[in-house]
Structure 1
Amino acid sequence: FGKVTNSKGFIPTKRDEYSFLLPSKWLYSTERDFDNIVERYQDNFDAVNFAAIIKKKVDGKTSVDQLGSPEEFLKSCDFLFGKQAWTGETKSEGGFKPGSVSALSLLDIDERTDKKGTKYYNYELLSRTADGDEGGRHKLVSAAVKNGQLYIVFIQVGDKRWFKGTDKEALGLRDSFTLA
């Protein structure tokens, strides 16, 4: 009685096509931020933290490297990161270029191959906006192709939460994502 049953803080989640470790305090969400989302989860404490699994057809492709280099592939996923919609004259407040109120920085990029030989592209990015909300957003991406389908895990975490331990949840989810 009284023992911790899940000391790692993750719930093993398995689907027919993929599996991942879901942070135990993240709940299913019906929101759909992008097209082709098959599942979405968000932190039950702070909705700024969420994960989405996206599935898109890529006819004739059997590996993510057939969609380009990691850098080229990332450019094709720019819809995940948003684009500055506002235009106008600004001063260089908060380190932004004149006329700009947002910035996206690539912090890390790597490739991994699972035990079955499936290749994954992994990314870590940080976006900032002039409103300063949360100090920005950490964005994690893992992408792989199997049977003509592209699977993308997109995770977003507020910067203030990132440094209070949510980084472990987000990285644990991204790095555990595996195609069946």
Structure 2
Amino acid sequence: AYGEGANVFGRVTNKSGFVPYAGDSFALLLPSKWNPSDEKEVDSIVLRYADNFDAVNNVYVIAQDTDKSSIQDYGSPEEFISQFGYLLGRQAWAGQTVSEGGFDANKVSSAALLGVATEKDKKGKTYYKFEILSRTADGNEGGRHQLVKATVSNGKLYLLKVQAGDKRWFKGTDKECLGVLDSFTVV
């Protein structure tokens, strides 16, 4: 038997490619082929999943205490992202380099802000959204697309970061990442 007839596990019931996840005060849709990951880039990560095909593609949610009552208390979206730029990774190497590949002198990485948006959910909660392309001099994956969405609720800053390698981004991973980003909601 071939095709659907050979499927011994039954018919596919979820054709969206996503599975719902409900965390403590937040919810999102996760790509169905991504798995839980124990890696923690920062201590305040409460959820992290990675693509089982390529771990460069991953998503995490941060929930950390804040004295702010709304995301606007951090300032404009640009002011907000400058305060949390460490989430994109910092250049760990320092020294003299010849500038090549479009990098500044003595730099081996760069980040470009491709998009900034502010949106409100159905209950009027404001979110800041960012699309960032970061590159390193090693040319690994041609860079990384990083999507960030953040808001404040009940004394906590909730920040979602979805990352995908540039080469996979253009092979369909963008749809998974944007699906996660757009589905992220906080109570």
**TM-score when normalising by structure 1:** 0.95
Q: Does 1:44 align with 2:44?
A: no
In the aligned structure 2, how far is the partner of 1:74 from the partner of 1:16? 24
Q: Does 1:87 align with 2:94?
A: yes
More RCO (CA 8 Å, sep 6+): 1
Taking only aligned residues, the RMSD between alpha carbons, in angstroms, comes to 1.2
Deviation at 1:96, TM superposition (A): 1.1
Structure (1 or 2) with the larger CA radius of gyration: 2
Q: Percent identity?
A: 56
In structure 1, the partner of 2:181 is 174
User: What SS is found at the alignment partner of 2:98?
Assistant: coil
Q: Which runs of 4+ in 1 moved over 6 A?
A: none
User: What SS is found at the alignment partner of 2:38?
Assistant: coil
Change (3 A) 1:89 1:15: closer
Deviation at 1:63, TM superposition (A): 1.2
From 92, 105, 109, give the equivalent of 1:98: 105
Amino acid aligned to 1:95: G
In the aligned structure 1, how far is the partner of 2:161 from the partner of 2:155? 19
Q: Deviations over 1:111-159 (max 9, x none)?
A: 1100111110000000000000000011110000011110000111100
Amino acid aligned to 1:23: P
In the aligned structure 2, how far is the partner of 1:69 from the partner of 1:117? 17
Q: How many residues align?
A: 179
Q: Deviations over 1:69-110 (max 9, x none)?
A: 101000111110122222222222211122111110000000
User: What SS is found at the alignment partner of 1:93?
Assistant: coil
Structure 1 stretch 18-27 or stretch 83-92: which is displaced more?
83-92
Q: Unpaired runs of 5+ in structure 1?
A: none
**TM-score when normalising by structure 2:** 0.92
Q: Does 1:74 align with 2:81?
A: yes
From 34, 43, 49, give the equivalent of 1:26: 34
In the aligned structure 1, how far is the partner of 2:158 from the partner of 2:26? 9
